[in-house]
Amino acid sequence: MTRLDENMLQQIAAAGSGKYIRANNTEVGINNIFDEISKMEKSELESKVYSDYNDQFYYFIAIALALIAIEYLILERKNNLLKNFRLFKERKMI
């Protein structure tokens, strides 16, 4: 079992530059707390939100662009230099 030590709570409130208000089951204490909160100085808070994105897919984009460049070089319809070079040409067996 514990007891309410109001003297200690009043000392703690005084040390923190606050007020001690006993709020039990009645609405009187709670209304006093709301009144004290409404008396407090009101100020606007400003916040800035920054979004820092992690670029994770540029490796895949670089690989895809490299493959597209390789395909452009190998594709025989577009490249005249490799037009006559055939890796898989048929050989006639005698």
Residue 46 falls inside a structural domain:
no
Mean pLDDT of 57-77: 83
Q: Which domain holds residue 23?
A: 6-39
Mean pLDDT of 66-88: 72
- In angstroms, the Cα distances linking 58 to 39, 55, 66, 68, 70 are 55, 7, 12, 15, 18
Residue 16 falls inside a structural domain:
yes
Residue 70 falls inside a structural domain:
no
Residue 83 falls inside a structural domain:
no
Residue 35 falls inside a structural domain:
yes
Residue 25: band (very low, low, confident or very high) from pLDDT cuts 50, 70, 90: low
Residue 47 falls inside a structural domain:
no
Please tell me the total count of domains within the chain. Answer: 1
pTM (2 d.p.):
0.37
Residue 29 falls inside a structural domain:
yes
- Asked if 29 and 22 touch (Cβ cutoff 8 Å), the reply is yes
Residue 56 falls inside a structural domain:
no
